[in-house]
Each structure stands twice: as C-alpha cells, then as structure tokens.
Amino acid sequence: MNLFVATLLSPLLGGLLLALVNNPRLAARINVGTGITTFTFSLLLVIQVLDVKSVDAMSGWFHLDAYNVFLLALTTFVGMTTSIFSAPYMRHELASGHVDLPRLRLYHSMFQLFQFGMLLGFSTNNIGVLWVSLELATLATVLLVSLYRTPASIAAAWKYFILCGMGIALALFGTVLVFFTSSAVLGHGNEALNWTALYANAARLDPAVMSIAFCFLMVGYGTKVGLVPMHAWLPDAHGEGPTPVSAVLSGLLLNLALYALVRCKMLVDGSTGTDMAGHIMMGFGLLSLFVAAFSLHKQRDIKRMFSFSSIEHMGLMTFAFGIGSSLASFAALLHMTVHSLVKSGIFFTVGHAAQAMGTQKMAEIRGLIRHHPGIGWGLLMGTVAIAGFPPFGVFTSEFLLFAAALEVYPWTAVPLLLGLLIAMAGLFRFVQPMVYGEVASQAVPVHVNMLPVYVHFAMALVLGLAIPDFLADWYTQAAALIVAGGGGG
Amino acid sequence: MSDTLVPQLVDGLAALMLLTSFALLAQHRLLSVLNWFAAQGFLLATTAAVVAYGTNNHELYISALMALLLKGLLLPWLLWRVIRQLHVHREVEPLMNRTMTMLIALALTLFSFHIIQPIEKISHLMTRDSMAIAMACVLLGMLMMITRRKAITQVIGFLAVENSLFFAAIGSTNGMPLVVEIGIAFDVLIAALIFGLFFFQIRDTFDSLEVDAMHAHLIHKDDDE
Amino acid sequence: MRSALVQFFQAGMLLLLAPLLAGFVATCRARLQNRRGAGVMQPWRNLRKLFSKEVVMASHASWIFRTAPYVVFTATVMAASVVPAMLVDTPLSLIADVIALVALLALSRFFQALAGMDIGTAFGGMGASREMTFAALGEPAMLMSIFVISLSAHSTNLTSMINHTLNSPFALHPSLAFALVAMLLVALAENGRIPIDNPTTHLELTMIHEAMILEYSGRHLALMEWAAMVKLLLFSTLIVDLFMPWGMAVNTDAISLVQAFGLWLLKVAGLMIALALAETGMAKLRLFDVPEYLSGAFVIAFLGLLSFYMLEVGA
C-alpha cells in the first residue's frame, strides 16, 4: 500500500515545503509539481484498487473501495489543474498588488494542506478522523478566503468560520451519538468508529439513536454541503476568496461533505431499515434546488452567481442520493464528477474574466468574446455545460436522475424540471450580455492559461457523449456499494 | 463505594456543566465570561479524570490532561491576552434581552431533554444521564453564538460548544478513541489560533469587534438578504 | 401532650430568639468591619424603647394602617410557629405545609404594602410597588426551589419532607444543590438584606422595606420590626429544615430534644455568620438589576428541577 501512503504524503510534504519557499515563481512550480505527483500516485492507486475491489491500508485505518477511490482521483485531478491554473492567476494578483509575498506563501502552503485534508477525509476508515479532516480542510480554507484582507473578505471568512464551526460541531455531536450506540455493540475502541465494522453490524445499532444521530449529521455536514437553509456562508466565501479557492471549494470541499453525508446515510439505512434518511435528504435537496435557482436571478457578482449554481447542483446530488436506487446513485456520482469538472473550469474562466475586466460585477463585464475569445467562449461553453445542455455530461447525469426520479417518486419530476429551468434562465440572463456585445472600457489584457479549462470541459463532453466502459463499470460498482449500504466492505 | 460514588460525581459535574453554560449566557462582563469559560475547562478535566478512575480507562487520563492544559489554561489565557491587547470594551451587549435569552435557554434545555429521552432508556452505560445535559450545553453554546454581537464572545460560544461536545464524549461514551480525541483537540487549537489572527484582522479593518460592522460589508453585496 | 409542649416551646423560642439573632448578625458584621458593634441585645433594647413610646399617626390614616402591624405580626408568628425547629413531628405538623407558609408570608406582605400606600406619601407607595414587583419575581423562584425538594419527597408537607431527607441514605444530589442556592438567593431578597435592600439605611433612592414602614412609630413600628426579625429566623429555620435536617429529634425524649435544640442553634448561627460574611463582601445591587437577580434565582431553581428529572429520576 505504498502508493497510498505516497498519495497522502505528497500534498503534506509539498505544503510543508511551500511554507518555506519565498520565491513566487519557484513556489508556483513546486505547487504544480506537487499537484502532478499527487495525481499520478492516485491514478496508479486507482488502477491497483480497481483490480481488487477494496483495500484496507495501514492496519485498517484506511479503507479504499470503488466509491471513495473514485472521488480520490477526482480530487487529485481537480487539485492538479487548479494548481496549474493558479500559477498565472496568482502571478497577476501579485503584480496587481492584491497579495504580497508572505500571503502568497500562506496561500500555496494552505492549498496543499487543504488537499491533504481532503485526501485524508476520503480515504480514512474512521468516522472520527473523517470529521477531523473535514475540519482541517475547512480551517485551511478559512485563511484562504480572507487572503485579500479586504473588509468584505474578512467578513466572509468570519461568517464561513462561524457557520461551518457550528455545523461541524453538530456533526461531531452526531458522531458521538453514533459511537454511543456502536460502542455498546462493537466494544469501546477504534473498531466502533470504523466504517467497515459499522456497516457489517449496521443492523445491530439502535435505530432510535441512529435516527437522532442522522438529524445532527444531516444538519452538520449539510451546512458544509451548502444545503439551504444552512447555505448562508457559501456565496460569501466563494465570492470573496481568490478564484482558485472558489474553484476547489465548489469542486472539491462540497464533495467531501456530501461524501460524508452519504456514508452516514448508508449506515443509518442499514440500522433503521426505513427510508427516513433518504426522505430527509430529498427534502433538503429540493429546497436547495429551488432557493438557489431563484437566488441566481438576484445576483450582481459573477462569482456569487456561480456559487448559487453550486448550491443548486449540490441540492440535485443530495436529492439523487436521497432517492437511493442504484440508477439514482449512478446519476449522482456522475453528476458529482461532471459538476466538479465543469464548475472548477467555470471558476477558472471567471477568475480570468474578472482580472481582464478589473471587476467581479456582472453589470460591468461586457464583450468578453471580443476582448479575449478564449475567456469569452470558455465562459459561454461552461455555462452551456453547467446548465445541462445535451452534449455535455451534466445533461446525461440530469437525464439519468430524471429517469430515476420518475421510476421511484414520479411526482418529483415536475418540481425538478421547474427548478432546473429557472436556474438555467438565471444563468443565461446574466452570461449572455457578459460574453457578447461591446468590450467594456476598463478592460485590460491578461495573460491566461486556458488549457485546464478546456481539458475540464472536454472531459465533461466525453462523459456526456459516451461514458468509457471502465468508468461506467466503476460508477456501477460504487452505486452498488451505496445501495447495499456498504455491505461489500 | 466507588461504584455508586463515581456516577454520582459525574451527575454532579454534569449539573455544574449545565450551570456554567447558563452562567456564560448570563454574564455581562467579558472577563467574567472568560472566567466561567475557564471554569468549564477545569470541570471537563475533572470529569474526564473521574470517569477515567471509575472505568479504569487510562487513555482518559491523557484526555483529562489535554482538557486541563488546553481548555482550562491555554485557551482562556490566549483569550485573556487578546482582550488585554485589543482593549475590548468591558460590557457585553447582547442582541436580546437577557431574561428572554434565559427563557429560551430553559426551553432549549427542556427540548434536548425531550429529544434524548428515548436514548436513555436503552443505554446501560455508567454515565448515561449526562447525554441530555451535554446536548443542552451544545444548544446553549449556539444560542450564545447567535445572541452576542462581539466577535470575541461568539468565539467563546464556539469554544463552549466544543467543550460540551467533549463532555458528551466523556460523559456518555466514556471518551472517544484517543486518536480521534487528539485530532479534535488539535483542530480546536488551530481554530483558536485562527480566531486570534482574525481578531486582529477584524479590529484593524473595521476598528471594532462588533459583528454588525462586519456584516454591513456583505449586505450591500447581497441583494438576496 | 409532650409534643404539644415542645411545639409551644419552639414557637416561643422563635419569637424570643429572633431579635437576638438580628443582633448577632449585626455584631458579626461589625466585627468583620473592625467595629465593636452595639451588642447582641441591642435589637431587644430597641424593641423595648419602641414599645414604651407613644404612637404618632397621620390624621387621615385609615383602619388598615392601624391594623396592619397586628396582621403582619400575627401572620409571621403563625408561620414561624408551625415550622419544625427541633421536633420533626409536632401536633401542628398537618398545617406545616410549605405552600401554606408561603401564603402566610404573602398575606403579611400584602398588608405591609397596603399600609405603605394607605398614608399616601410618595415613599410608602414607592416602597409598596417595589416590594410587590420583587415579590412577584421572588415567590415563583422560592416555590420552584421548594418543588425540587418536594419532588423527591412526594409531598409539600414540611414534616414528611424532613422525614424523607432523614431516612434516605446520603448521596450527592445536584438538584438539591441548585435548590439550595436558589433558596439562599431568594431568602436574601425576601428578608431585605444586601444585595437587594439594606435594612440599616434609609436611602430614599434604594430603600424598599424601610420605605413601606417609614410612617410607623411606637409599638406599631416595634411590631413591624419584630415581624421582620422573626421572618429572618423563619427563613433560616426553613433552610435548615429542608436542606440539613440531620440531628432533629424524631421522638420526645429529653436528650434528643436538647441535642436537637443545640444543633438547631448552631446551624442557624452558622447561616447567620454566612449572611454577615456575604453582606460584608457584597455591594448592593442597582434597583434595576434586582429583577435580573431574582430571575437568576428562578433559573437556578428551574435547573435544579431539570437536573432532578435528567439525572436523578430512575437513577
């Protein structure tokens, strides 16, 4: 399992190293290097795990199965492309005086630390450690959100910190409750917090305690997922932080929280034997979809608008996982992948667009295609993709989700469709004037690297046209795991 | 003797824990809030030590020591230094009338008692009763975070919530596994350090530690609020 | 028969010892403040002086003003006489119900407030309104704290509550600790001691009890003051009864009675020393903070109730 250790260690060591490097050019290179190394390791790891279905590492402390190894690979991939994107982006920020050298060092170091927290959370076999690593990833990003030290960014970071702190505290209480009942069954030790052991004994856990625990876990991790009504931190944190941070928050951190939530749901289902947890998740999902879709229409700031779109999509995924059929889980996993790819791609583009126009206000961003065709077409393409138009993967996953919803809860199709349409209208209403038309007067030329963006979109396109066999296999395996309540582990 | 005395002691400590949570909510002065917070830290350490003695679980002595050092001494001392350095105004102005807050707090306590009731019936752990109180303390800490204006009291509320969670883990499950316990303590420590950083950033940027001043900067951006 | 005698003795003792006790507190305070003090007998001397003076009354004082001192005194003494001090089971134990006690005290308070308003001076009305405001907050706290104890004893009768405490094995009861704290807080307020009211000053901005009896003189004033002293002793006996009844006599043989009497004196004296210490150490609260103080007492009593249900039921 050396590959696994290497995957985990590389961001940690990279982060420590970056804490010492002052030279911005060198730091950016190390950052990219670390990202590439981590991704390579995780890719090799994936190949290894897919051969043997599931692997326990380091005497049972870590457990990899189809479900989390896929998210692990996604995380390292987006982490890598974000580090590639961030090199020219942060150079521009440094040149324009938004950040100084010590803060840039902090940024690089925290970025890798965040990555480490994410990987730890996905791979650990222990609910307690999952909680710790989610908190670690949150703390790392708090400092990143306030990186610019503007009043609004500090206020946003504070809000993020306090709200997520509250949420995560509730999740810990839920975890304590789980341990409370599981230690009666599995004995007083680490065993009682292990996913594998818990799943194997899910039926013996007390259903009453598990139901209460799930309510706490739902609200707790739901806060981190950004579900309405606990979403207030999300638009601020996304809007005020540096763009690479918005990209990883939206594309990765939300995934980890949702992953934790789904793991808990699997456990609770195994214990209670009812659909209670699924129904709660469906409720939160639908509510988030609607509130976010309407809120989209009222935004002025481009990053805030796309962060509401993230809430909308997280709502969709929560809803899909809530349905709980294997088709729905398949759709949700696919949606998680394409959303991560497309949304981080969009944030990259938005970051460059905001730099080119010198503002994040949508009313002042005009004529992107004429000013810089790469950015303009990128933004348009991303919006088309995220809104769920046919050739892209989002369409496929949403279509599958519809099919799943129609199969199990037919009446939900109407609100789903309505919510999606409202959101789509909101997106295009703002994006169209931004990409077409005359160039705004304050526009400046920027040096951009659109490669990561196009790679992301291309992958989303491939996933939409034809899911490769090995990927489809992989999703099916993971979906089967989720439906079976992790019984395979 | 010890088989009846230890549960009684834990019950007593649970009651004191509830009292400190109410006291935190009721205080006017920042420094007395801090004193009660430190007292809560000592209470936690004592509880952990008592439970460790009662269950012969030696890992818990380490938890007790960590609680004593971190929650009883280090965090209050850090906060005290921050208060001194920032010359924070001594009075704490709550957003809500204090009697109202107290009534809500009582209602929350009743509510958590009601929620936890089905659990207590099935549990056979030595210290099962403290779960309801721990949950009440969690909710009271959150109430404190909501009803206070100053960033620093919000943080004390946050840390009080952490304390209650620690108490929940100790009091009702005889402590989480040590690895998790250490991880949580580490996170709390980092959180406290970040909070400390934030106090200075906030003060330098807004000239005040009032949260309202801060949110004004977000509200004008946010048309949906 | 013998227990009836003890009952009379108890009541008499309460009546006679009350001024001594007030003198004792004053002396303790004086010593704590490095003064010599006027001595333990001073309240008795004051009472004697007042009884020998003539009564001066406002010309438009009504019968309420004239009868109020007697009503107040009788109600207080009646309440005091039924509280067991040495012997647990007395002939009057059937009416020694805590709720009845609170009602008797409320009656005396009611007449005091009426008398305060009867003359129509500004101070009397002010004192009466303050007294009633604080009573409205203090009485629920007191009842709540009594309920905590009566919950475990399944009775509000003092005798059966004491019996319950005496017969149950020693154990830590967080709920009782809460109830005790709340009771002490309320007792301070009810007796008009620092930090709520200061019985030794006539400071117009803050006085409560003194404002109500400002117009009294002669034997009327003596009765009012005596009633206040009896009330202090009544409360301390009540606290002793409810929270530390150990050593009280359950039968009427002479040894246990003497022992019980001595212990009672000791416990009450202990409480009074604590009171003196507290009064020396604390500053008087602002008037507007008093409702907060009393609602704090209520919250503490309520916490006692909650922790009884959470921690002690079925434990």
- CB environment B88-110: b (16+ within 10 A), e (fewer): beeebebeeebbebbebbbebbe
Is B129 in contact with C310 (Cβ distance < 8 A)? Answer: yes
On whether the CB atoms of residues A27 and A108 are closer than 8 A, the answer is yes
Is residue B110 assigned to a domain?
A: yes
Mutation for testing the C interface, residue in B29, B109, B137, B143 having most C CBs under 10 Å:
B109
Q: Under DSSP, is residue C300 helix (H, G, I), strand (E, B) or coil?
A: helix
Is C311 in contact with B15 (Cβ distance < 8 A)? Answer: yes
Q: What is the pLDDT of residues A340-350, one digit of tens each?
A: 999 999 999 99
Mutation for testing the B interface, residue in C306, C309, C312 having most B CBs under 10 Å:
C306
What residue type is A291 in one-letter code?
Answer: V
Q: Under DSSP, is residue B210 helix (H, G, I), strand (E, B) or coil?
A: strand
Q: Using CA atoms in the order B64, B66, B67, B70, what is the torsion angle rounded to 10 degrees?
A: 160
Burial class of residue B149 (count of CB atoms within 10 Å of its CB; 0-12, 13-18, 19+) = middle
Task: Give me the number of domains chain B comprises.
Answer: 1
Residue B122: pLDDT band (50, 70, 90) is low
Q: What is the pLDDT of residues A299-322, one digit of tens each?
A: 889 999 999 999 999 999 999 999
Residue-range definition of the domain harbouring residue B127: 2-219
Task: Give me the number of domains chain C comprises.
Answer: 1
Give Cβ neighbours of residue A356 (< 8 Å, ≥ 6 apart).
A368, A371, A372, A375, A443, A444, A445, A446, A448
ipTM above 0.90, yes or no: no
Q: What is the pLDDT of residues C91-126, one digit of tens each?
A: 888 888 888 899 999 999 999 999 989 888 888 888
On whether the CB atoms of residues C112 and C131 are closer than 8 A, the answer is yes
Q: What is the pLDDT of residues C122-170, one digit of tens each?
A: 888 888 998 999 999 899 999 999 998 898 888 888 888 888 888 887 7
Give the start-to-end residue ranges of the domains of chain A: 2-483
- What does the pLDDT average to over A191-214? 87
| Paired tokens of C124 | 């009397």
| Paired tokens of A362 | 């949508």
Q: What is the pLDDT of residues C238-281, one digit of tens each?
A: 999 888 888 888 888 888 889 999 999 999 999 999 999 998 88
Mean pLDDT (chain A) is 89
Portion 158-177 of A in contact with B at CB < 8 A: 158-159, 161-162, 165-166, 169-170, 172-173, 176-177
Please name the residue of chain B whose CA is at the shortest distance from the CA of residue C300.
B19
Please name the residue of chain A whose CA is at the shortest distance from the CA of residue B134.
A173
Q: What is the pLDDT of residues A33-83, one digit of tens each?
A: 999 999 999 988 888 887 777 778 777 788 888 888 888 999 999 999 999
Cα–Cα dist C253/A63, whole Å: 77
On whether the CB atoms of residues C118 and C124 are closer than 8 A, the answer is yes
Is C172 in contact with B9 (Cβ distance < 8 A)? Answer: yes
Cα–Cα dist B62/B58, whole Å: 7
Of B9, B106, B129, the CB nearest to C302: B106
CA distance B217 to chain A (A): 5
CA distance A357 to chain B (A): 18
On the question of pLDDT at A489 being above 50, the answer is no
On the question of pLDDT at B220 being above 60, the answer is no
Portion 186-215 of A in contact with B at CB < 8 A: 188-190, 192-193, 206, 208-209, 212
On the question of pLDDT at B147 being above 70, the answer is yes
Residue-range definition of the domain harbouring residue C174: 2-312
Q: Are B and C close enough to touch, i.e. 3+ CB pairs under 8 angstroms?
A: yes
**Does B16 reach chain C within 8 Å, measured CB to CB?**
yes
Is residue B76 assigned to a domain?
A: yes
Residue B1: pLDDT band (50, 70, 90) is very low
Is C177 in contact with B12 (Cβ distance < 8 A)? Answer: yes
Distances (CA, A) of A438 to A103, A370, A376, A433, A435: 36, 7, 12, 9, 9
